[in-house]
Structure formats: C-alpha cells, structure tokens
Amino acid sequence: MQSKTRLTTTFLNNLKPNPRTAKSADYEVNLSAMKDSGLPTGVRCLVGKSGGKRFLLRYTSPVAGKKASIGLGKHPETDLFTLCKTAKEY
C-alpha cells in the first residue's frame, strides 16, 4: 500500500490516530518506502493515540552497532521539505 502512495501533506493529515485499545502507544508509517518520497532509508512517522504525529530517523549506530533513532520534528510544524533536508543531513 505505502509504496504506491505519494508522500504529501494531505496524506500525513489523513493518518488516523492509533486506537485507544491498542497495546502500543504509537504506530509507524515507513515514509522512506513511499513513492517518490526522496527520503533516506529509515524515516518513519509515528502516530499516537491522540493523533499527534512525529518524525524519526531509525538507524544502526556505526560506533556501538546498536539500533538508535533521531527525532526530526513534529507534524505540521515540520514541513516535507524541511524533513527531507534534515534527514539527508544525518
């Protein structure tokens, strides 16, 4: 589904909140796998139970060899252009 969908602000606005009955606090949407996203591998959008959306870059640390993540901002404060620019810097 996601690889055929284009990454747009409208797509992000239409993401539904995580159900209140869900075990996890957030669910992830892999933004880097979406069609024409231009984002590096590992960029995700986490959607919380209240509907809040935040962007993360997940990666494996070259020093420690452990999985880690970096916060890239929240939606809608961080637009797609800024998200792409920040993710590529890391």
Domain boundaries, the chain: 2-89
pLDDT at 38: 86
- What's the topology of domain 2-89? Double Stranded RNA Binding Domain (3.30.160)
pLDDT at 1: 44
**Closest C-alpha among 81, 53, 63 to residue 71:** 53
pLDDT at 2: 52
- Strand partners of residue 35: 6
DSSP secondary structure code for residue 2 in this structure = G
Global pTM reads: 0.86
Nearest-angstrom CA–CA distance, 69 and 23:
21
Each of the 90 residues of the chain gets a pLDDT tens digit; together they read 455 788 999 999 999 999 999 999 999 999 998 888 889 999 999 999 999 999 999 999 888 889 999 999 999 999 999 999 999 998
pLDDT at 70: 93
